[in-house]
A = this chain, B = another copy of it.
Amino acid sequence: MSWWDDIVAGTRAELGSYTFTEDEIIRFAREYDPQPFHIDPEVAARSVFGGIIASGWHTVAIWMKLAVAHNAKQPNAEAAPMISPGFENLKWLKPVRPGMTLHYSTEVTGKRALASRPARGLVLTNNEAREADGTLVMSFTGKVFAPRRQTGG
């Protein structure tokens, strides 16, 4: 993330891709979403999904993992951690099955100054996970605080 002052709507970053293995799907879900269609291949085969699928929270957690790695490579990473008041409108659009590779991205859609926080501004983002053919699998509107350049003195 850059300084809030420099951030421009329309700026887009590819965050990288991630392939979901059955082992990872099961490992995440056993801890945080242990429903049979996430953790038991035999039961999942008989479910409406016809096989194991990843927890939706897992597909979002991987977005965060990739976004943090991307942010750490920015020039002012130390001054600009990813601190968020929340997000909006999260959509899980397609089941994520073992072997699927998702391509993650983030794009700035707008920004707002914060009267209560002169040192930081809010940045709005559209975040997505897509298959290689472009099929949208997951999306949400992110909100993140970005540091503002110190002015005057």
A residues at B contact (CB < 8 Å): 31-37, 47-48, 55-57, 60-62, 64-65, 68, 81-93, 140
Nearest CB in chain B to that of A47: its residue: B81
Q: Is the CB of B81 within 8 A of A92?
A: no
The number of times this chain is found in the oligomer is 2
Q: Is the CB of A32 within 8 A of B89?
A: no
Q: Would you list the 6 A-B pairs with minimal beta carbon distance, nearest first? A: A32-B61, A86-B91, A86-B90, A87-B90, A32-B65, A33-B64
Q: Is the CB of A57 within 8 A of B61?
A: yes
Of the candidates B35, B55, B65, B86, which one forms a contact with A92 in the assembled complex, judged by CB atoms under 8 Å apart?
B86
23 contacts between A and B (CB under 8 A): A31-B61, A31-B65, A32-B61, A32-B64, A32-B65, A33-B61, A33-B64, A35-B68, A35-B82, A36-B81, A48-B83, A55-B64, A56-B84, A57-B61, A84-B92, A85-B91, A85-B93, A86-B89, A86-B140, A87-B90, A88-B89, A88-B90, A90-B90
Nearest CB in chain B to that of A67: its residue: B33
